[in-house]
Chains A and B, each alone.
Chain A
Amino acid sequence: MYAFNYHKASSLADAAAKLGAAADGKLLAGGQTLIAAMKLRLAAPSDLVDLAAIGELRGIKVDGSSLTIGAMTTHAAVAASDDVRGKIPALAHLAEGIGDRMVRNAGTLGGSVANNDPAADYPAALVGLGATVVTQKRRIAADDFFRGMYETALETGEIITGVSFPIPKRAGYVKFPNPASRYAIVGVFVAEGSAGVRVAVTGAGPSVFRVPAMEKALSASFSADALKSVSVDASALNGDMHASAEYRAHLVSVIARRAVEQALGR
């Protein structure tokens, strides 16, 4: 790998200062995407600021009607958490399906969210549950956070500290994974909560998106059959060697129905 400078931040303020002082710095969370991207020179930061020593960024707590997960909490910790399994089982199930066992032991919620890979799982959960991304400066609604392929609302120097998820009445997440990478070819998160029904799709488009027609149909009747007559337009979807845009559009309908069935089964 090419040479870069490494810094271990002792606190959020220290991380922000070190990031600000670097020519082209990047935050290091679990590194499960970033290290691989740096090896390929898809990313070439001058400095890495490691967040691992900042204890306040880890942990899971239930606070009334919401569940807050620290940015540096690993996927494995989310999947194994009794609080997550009890309050939002679909979220624990999602975390349990990210990458593989070793990746889940290192990769983090904040890292995944900040990277906003178009086929990552967590963006679907954040948008599907109507979560709020918390940074050291402000709170950002998930609907406003994911801006496009690998693009987020984060400003320079802004650090995600955690994500707050409203606890839904019921939710389900099903993905059709790429058999090699386990990234979603299509993943659909469906949730019914106090703010109504939300349907979020990952893997199919340039970034996570909602399907208003499905939300409307499910609001009228929360059942897999309610989605029978709803089709998804393929024109804005991704097509690649794994699946054409038309195939992905079809998958969104199939997977959404399965996600509803899962939500009803919990």
Chain B
Amino acid sequence: MAVSLSLTVNGKPVTASVEARTLLVDFLREHLNLTGTHVGCDTAQCGACTVHLDGKAVKACNLLALQAQGSKVVTIEGVSPADGSLHPMQAAFREHHGLQCGFCTPGMVMSAIDFVGANPAPNETQVREALDGNLCRCTGYHNIVQSVIAGAKAMRGTP
């Protein structure tokens, strides 16, 4: 059953015909070639597929594309300014070495941006709790947590 789907992705209107069973993450990756959003576990556990749906972080492997009908979706490709520079949270991950292989990073960054929007000055415990739904299998979470704290600081504009 193909259904017409219209939504906004990274600020651009998109209209497509999709099968009802198409997951949001597959729509983004396969139809729009936005492959920055990753599929890790495909069971809503690892968080590598995290995107923003109407401003809130969600797991795109656990939603149908049609559930985003009429909504605004932002992926990792959509967070940086048009000049190609990094979003402050991305820059903080680079600066603090908050990644190793990088597979989980898009999800980590998308979760962190959403979380910091609600909690502009989080402490370490709060960051660890907020990243509960994002798994990194390379390393400990220490540098990731430091990155989010630094990214939060940069986002609120304090040195």
Contacts and interface: CB of A to CB of B under 8 A. Distances in A.
Contact of A101 (B44, B45, B114): B114
B62 A5 contact: no
A4 B23 CA distance: 13
Contacts of A93: none
B69 A106 contact: no
A39 B21 CA distance: 10
Interface in B46-71: 47, 50, 53, 56-59, 62-64, 66-67, 69
Contact of B64 (A35, A102, A182): A35
Contacts of A99: 133
Contact of B133 (A39, A76, A102): A102
Interface SS, A side: mixed
A102 B111 contact: yes
A250 interface: no
Contact of B23 (A1, A2, A100): A1
Nearest to B115: A101
A6 B23 CA distance: 13
B86 interface: no
A3 interface: yes
Given A32-B44, A100-B132, A50 B59 contact: no
B43 interface: yes
Contact of A1 (B21, B44, B47, B50): B21
Contacts of B45: 180-181
Contacts of A105: 53, 56-58, 114
B140 to A, nearest CB: 16
Contacts of B20: 3-6, 48
B19 A102 contact: no
Interface in B1-55: 1, 3, 19-21, 23, 42-45, 47, 50, 53
Report the contact-size class of chain A (Cβ under 8 Å from the partner): 20 to 34
A50 B21 contact: no
Interface residues of B, number: 30
A100 B64 contact: no
B58 A6 contact: no
A106 B58 contact: yes
Nearest to B47: A102
Interface string A29-45: 00110011001000000
Given A4-B20, A5-B1, A6-B1, A52 B67 contact: yes
Interface SS, B side: mixed
B130 interface: yes
Given A102-B59, A106-B58, A4 B130 contact: no
Interface string B103-138: 000000001001100100000000000101100000
A251 to B, nearest CB: 21
A103 B67 contact: no
Interface string A62-101: 0000000000000010001000000000000000000111
B1 A103 contact: no
A8 interface: yes
A31 B62 contact: yes
Contacts of A52: 67
Nearest to A40: B43
A5 B64 CA distance: 12
Given A35-B64, A102-B57, 16 more contacts: A3-B19, A4-B20, A6-B3, A8-B66, A28-B64, A35-B44, A36-B43, A100-B47, A100-B132, A101-B132, A102-B47, A103-B44, A103-B62, A103-B133, A105-B56, A105-B58
7 contacts: A5-B20, A31-B63, A35-B23, A35-B64, A36-B44, A102-B133, A182-B132
Interface of B: 1, 3, 19-21, 23, 42-45, 47, 50, 53, 56-59, 62-64, 66-67, 69, 111, 114-115, 118, 130, 132-133
